[in-house]
A and B are shown apart, each in its own frame.
Chain A
Amino acid sequence: MDRIPILKMGHFLLVTIQVDLYDRLAMDLEADLVKMVSITGAKAVLIDISAVSIVDSFMGRIIGNIASMSKLLDAETVVVGMQPAVAITLVELGLELPGVHTALNVEKGMALLSSLIIIDEETEEEEDDDTALS
C-alpha cells in the first residue's frame, strides 16, 4: 500500500507527488494531509506536482479539495510545478482551482508562502497591538 509522505518543515507542510496518482492514493493523501494540518497546526501547505503528467477530473477535484480544506483549517495552499498538459486539461475540465495559489517551482512556491505567512503574522501582530491599546 503506497503512501505519499507529508514532510513538516517549520510552519510548512511539504508534499511532493512523485508518482502518477491513482484514485485510492489521492483520497488517502487528502485524508492524511487534512489530519496533518490539524495536528501540526501548519500555516502553509506546498504541493509539488511537477512529476504528474496526467490528471483526470477526479484528480483535479482532489487537488481543489485539499486546498479548500486546508484553507478551512487556516493554512494557505500552493500548488507548484504544474505541467502545461495538466494545466490545459484542468482548464478544459473547468477546474480552475479558485483559492489555490500556484507557483512555477518549489523555490518560488516557498517564497510565496513565506510572504503570505509574514503578511498574516503582521496582521495578527497589528491586531494584538490594537487589543493591547484598547
Chain B
Amino acid sequence: MAQSAQILKNKKNDILELWMKNQLTDAGLRDDLMSNEELRSQSEELVDTLIGSLSADNITDAESSDFDGVIEILGGISITRARQGYSPRETGAYVLSLKEALLSILETELKNDLASLYEESIKVSRLIDSFSIITFETFIKGREEVILRQTDEIAEISTPVIRVWDGILALPIIGTLDSSRTQVVMENLLQEIVDTGSSIAILDISGVPAVDSLVAQHLIKTVSATRLMGAECIISGIRPEIAQTIVHLGIDLSNIVTKASLAHALKFAFATLRLEVKKKAGVVVEKAN
C-alpha cells in the first residue's frame, strides 16, 4: 500500500496551489519580508524536490539519502529566513503548513477508504514532522555557529601590554576574567617584562565587572611571578563591589600594592623610579590652527 506517494506525485500542482492559497490567506503572512513571487518560487522548489524524491519505500524513512536534496533546500530556507528576520516559529510554521496541504489532498483522494487514509496520513505526517525538526536544527546550528564565532573573537581580543613610560608597563584588562584568560594575561605580561626590561607593571582592572576567588588567586599568582622575575606589580582600579567581594571571600591582598586608579598607580611608579613630573612655569598658550 504505497498509494500516497503515487497520489501526491499525480497531484503535485494541486498541492502547490493549495499550499500557496493557505499561505497567502494566512494572517501571519509576512509580505513585508518576502514578496509573494519569491515565496511562490521557494515553495515550488520545495514541493518539486519533495514530491520528486518521494517513493513508496522512503515515505516511512526520513533519514533516507533520497531526501538529501530536500534537507539541503530546507537548510537553505531556514538560514535565509533567519537572516531575513523570520522568527523560528514562523519558519517552523511554513514547513508544517505544507503538511496541511498534503493531508487535505490525501483526504480528498482517499475519502472512500478511511483505513488507508488514516495510515497514509500518519506516514506523511511523520515525514513532514521530521523535516520540520531538521529545519529547526539547522536554524539552531546557524545560531550556534554565530555564538561560537563570537566566543572565539572575544577570546582573541588580546590584552595589550602598553609601555606607558620607560620601565613602566600598563595592562588594562577589560571584560570578564576567567582562568584561561588570566593565564594568557600573565604570560603576556611576564614576556613583555623580559622583552622591555621594565621594572614596574600596572594591572588595571577597572574594566572587570566581577572577580571570583579563582580569578583573585590568579591575580595574586601574577603579582608573585612578577616579583620573582625582579619586577613589581601594582593592581589598580579595583571597584568598590570587587573590594567587597575580595574581603568577603577572605582573600588577603595585603602584600600587594593596590591603587585607586591608573593615574595613582602611575604616580606611585614614578615615585618608585624616582621620577618627577612637573608643571612648567608660565601660561599655556593655545595655538590657533
| Cβ-defined contact, B187 with A92, below 8 A | no
> A104-B199, A105-B197, A108-B199 known; A84 and B229 CB under 8 Å?
yes
Q: Which one of A1-9, A17-25, A95-103, A126-134 is at the interface?
A: A95-103
A105 to B230 CA separation, bound complex (whole angstroms)? 8
| Cβ-defined contact, B228 with A87, below 8 A | yes
List of B residues within 8 angstroms of A86 by Cβ: 228
Minimum CB–CB distance for B159 against chain A, Å: 15
Task: With CB as the reference atom, state the residue of chain B lying closest to A101.
Answer: B230
Q: Which of B208-266 contact A (CB under 8 A)?
A: 221, 224-231
| Cβ-defined contact, A88 with B187, below 8 A | yes
B230 contact from A81, A91, A92, A96, Cβ within 8 A: A81
A83 within 8 A of B: yes
Task: With CB as the reference atom, state the residue of chain B lying closest to A98.
Answer: B255
A78 to B198 CA separation, bound complex (whole angstroms)? 17
Please tell me the size bucket of the interface on B: 10 to 19
| Cβ-defined contact, A102 with B230, below 8 A | yes
List of A residues within 8 angstroms of B51 by Cβ: none
Which of B193, B221, B227, B230 counts the most chain A CB atoms within 10 A?
Answer: B230
| Cβ-defined contact, B228 with A82, below 8 A | yes
B194 within 8 A of A: yes
Q: Which of B32-70 contact A (CB under 8 A)?
A: none
| Cβ-defined contact, B224 with A82, below 8 A | no
| Cβ-defined contact, A97 with B228, below 8 A | yes
Minimum CB–CB distance for A50 against chain B, Å: 9
| Main DSSP-derived SS at the B contact region | helix
Please tell me the size bucket of the interface on A: 20 to 34
| Cβ-defined contact, B225 with A104, below 8 A | no
A79 to B228 CA separation, bound complex (whole angstroms)? 8
Minimum CB–CB distance for B260 against chain A, Å: 26
Minimum CB–CB distance for A28 against chain B, Å: 24
Q: Which of B153-200 contact A (CB under 8 A)?
A: 186-187, 190-191, 193-194, 197-199
Minimum CB–CB distance for B214 against chain A, Å: 14
List of A residues within 8 angstroms of B221 by Cβ: 88, 91-92
| Cβ-defined contact, A87 with B190, below 8 A | yes
A52 within 8 A of B: no
Q: Which of A63-102 contact B (CB under 8 A)?
A: 78-84, 86-88, 90-92, 96-97, 102
A86 to B227 CA separation, bound complex (whole angstroms)? 12
List of B residues within 8 angstroms of A88 by Cβ: 186-187, 190, 221, 225
Task: With CB as the reference atom, state the residue of chain A lying closest to B225.
Answer: A87
List of A residues within 8 angstroms of B231 by Cβ: 104
Other than the known A96-B224, A96-B228, what 5 A-B pairs have Cβ atoms closer than 8 Å?
Answer: A82-B229, A90-B228, A91-B224, A104-B194, A104-B230
What residues of chain B have their CB less than 8 Å away from a CB belonging to chain A?
A: 186-187, 190-191, 193-194, 197-199, 221, 224-231
A-B contact pairs, 12 of them (CB 8 A): A82-B228, A84-B187, A84-B193, A84-B194, A84-B225, A84-B229, A88-B190, A88-B221, A92-B221, A102-B227, A103-B230, A104-B193
